[in-house]
């Protein structure tokens, strides 16, 4: 009863906050975090016509989730007679998806979780099936799905030990939320066990969707051009960095450059809107740099190459024999570990890998990635992997073995989802996958 009252209370509070939510959205527009032209979508107003026929809805919170769901989307569209609505909540993910979505799929921003905006969204799109990727679960949205009896599946579901312990005191609330899904596909066996201990029985571990993604694309001509410009210089990449990590990368370069002549540091920030801040950090460390967007060729005098354009991480993972993955030396929770592994870049992560904790632990145990606890350890790890090719090759071989073992992840996910997709009329029964 208490959990039901909690949900009713949440609904009442969000109902009364329409004005504040509008002001919040306007503030985000001023900060460059919302698309002014498409702001109505965040209030449930569609900016395009609904296609005729069956519509599957896939929600992925941001960049990592939206890219990881693309193989699943392709597989469903290849077999199903339907169109696909893909929602996300960030401008970066929308920009990437505008280039990556297949035919019969289109993007809209997810509405904020206000009851009226959610109802407007659901009444217009009338999805026949919903897939949520990972853990962005909004109560009003889920209650709307449930009240309309829209079949839904949660993919890449994860639950840390810390979260599981917290939910022990509100099991019925968690069950009420997750019962909006007829199937909860856990990312790991450990996640499945934690869900089951809390009474969530409609769950199955199928592997992490990130392992199902194809390697990021690489422009071969651009790869050859940049590879020639870099020559035989030692190169490492600080990828998806956040505030504080660019300074760590700059200090690392200063420490290693005297020991490794010609060292080139590539920095690819998670958010390119922070370029002014990053440029100031490099200037403070007296490091010369060139940006990707400038079009200027890399010269031997450049210490740092800054990737300030979206959609090219496949190119830079392939160019860098060693990658440090950002969001992990600062408490962000880490980013996609699979992408650099797929392109043969020896991967280093920091201690903050909460968003992929079980996968990270497995990869570390198999020596497929390296983990450091602080900036000093990162310096030693980068130097070791750049200087000792045998250590680097051993890590890359271990990573390749893990990727091979996870190659059937997509098929496992599709197999579990097939009955629900058939009942919803998205797939014809008994059609082979």
Active site members: 65
Q: Which two tokens stand for residue 289?
A: 């740099």
**What is the C-alpha to C-alpha distance for residues 53 and 84, in angstroms, rounded to an integer?**
11
- Burial degree of 23 (CB within 10 A; 0-12, 13-18, 19+): exposed
Query: In this structure, are residues 303 and 288 in contact, taking their beta carbons and an 8 Å threshold?
Result: yes
- Burial degree of 228 (CB within 10 A; 0-12, 13-18, 19+): exposed
**What is the C-alpha to C-alpha distance for residues 81 and 429, in angstroms, rounded to an integer?**
12
| Of the candidates 328, 344, 317, the residue with the CA atom closest to the CA atom of residue 237 | 317
**What is the C-alpha to C-alpha distance for residues 100 and 406, in angstroms, rounded to an integer?**
23
Indicate left, alpha or beta for 333 from its phi (over 0: left) and psi (-120 to 50: alpha). left
Q: How does DSSP assign 274-332, residue by residue? A: GHHHHHHHHHHTT--EEEGGG-PPP-TT-SEEE--SSS-HHHHHHH-SEEEESSTTTTT
Query: In this structure, are residues 211 and 406 in contact, taking their beta carbons and an 8 Å threshold?
Result: yes
Q: What's the CA angle centered on 334, arms 374 and 175, to 5 degrees?
A: 130
Exposure letters 240-261 (e unless 16+ CB within 10 A, then b): bbbbebbbbbbbbbbbbbeebe
Query: In this structure, are residues 107 and 84 in contact, taking their beta carbons and an 8 Å threshold?
Result: no
Q: Which two tokens stand for residue 166?
A: 């917290």
42 Cβ contact partners less than 8 Å away, ≥ 6 residues apart: 25, 34, 109, 110, 111, 112, 117
Beta bridge partners of 132: 59, 154
Query: In this structure, are residues 237 and 320 in contact, taking their beta carbons and an 8 Å threshold?
Result: yes
Q: Which two tokens stand for residue 62?
A: 């941001």
Beta bridge partners of 291: 306
């Amino acid at each position: 009863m208490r959990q039901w009252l909690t949900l009713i209370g949440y609904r009442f509070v969000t109902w009364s906050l329409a004005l504040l939510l509008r002001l919040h959205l306007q503030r985000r527009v001023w900060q460059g975090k919302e698309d002014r032209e498409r702001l109505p979508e965040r209030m449930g107003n569609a900016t395009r016509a609904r296609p005729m026929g069956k519509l599957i809805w896939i929600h992925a919170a941001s960049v990592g989730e939206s890219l990881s769901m693309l193989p699943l989307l392709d597989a469903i569209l290849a077999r199903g007679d339907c169109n696909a609505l893909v929602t996300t909540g960030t401008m970066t993910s929308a920009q990437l998806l505008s280039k990556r979505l297949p035919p019969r799929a289109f993007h809209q921003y997810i509405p904020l979780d206000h009851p009226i905006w959610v109802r407007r969204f659901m009444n217009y799109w009338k999805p026949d099936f919903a897939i949520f990727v990972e853990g962005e679960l909004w109560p009003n949205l889920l209650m709307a799905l449930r009240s309309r009896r829209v079949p839904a599946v949660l993919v890449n579901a994860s639950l840390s030990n810390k979260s599981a312990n917290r939910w022990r005191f509100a099991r019925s609330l968690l069950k009420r939320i997750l019962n909006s899904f007829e199937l909860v596909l856990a990312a790991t066996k450990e996640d499945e066990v934690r869900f089951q201990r809390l009474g969530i029985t409609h769950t199955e571990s199928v592997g992490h969707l990130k392992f199902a993604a194809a390697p990021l694309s690489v422009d071969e001509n651009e790869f050859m051009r940049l590879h020639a410009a870099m020559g035989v210089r030692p190169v490492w990449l600080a990828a998806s960095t956040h505030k504080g990590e660019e300074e760590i990368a700059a200090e690392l370069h200063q420490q290693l450059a005297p020991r490794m002549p010609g060292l080139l540091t590539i920095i690819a920030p998670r958010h390119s809107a922070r370029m002014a801040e990053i440029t100031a950090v490099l200037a403070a460390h007296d490091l010369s740099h060139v940006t990707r967007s400038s079009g200027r060729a890399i010269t031997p005098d450049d210490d740092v190459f800054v990737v300030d354009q979206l959609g090219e991480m496949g190119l830079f993972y392939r160019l860098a024999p060693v990658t440090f993955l950002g969001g992990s030396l600062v408490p962000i929770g880490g980013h996609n570990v699979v992408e650099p592994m797929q392109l043969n870049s020896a991967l280093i992560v920091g201690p903050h890998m909460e968003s992929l904790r079980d996968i990270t632990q497995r990869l570390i145990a198999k020596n497929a990635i390296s983990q450091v606890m602080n900036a000093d350890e990162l310096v030693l790890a980068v130097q070791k992997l750049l200087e000792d090719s045998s250590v680097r090759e051993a890590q890359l071989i271990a990573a390749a073995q893990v990727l091979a073992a996870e190659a059937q992840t997509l098929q496992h996910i599709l197999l579990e989802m097939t009955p629900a997709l058939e009942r919803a009329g998205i797939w014809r029964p008994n059609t082979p996958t």
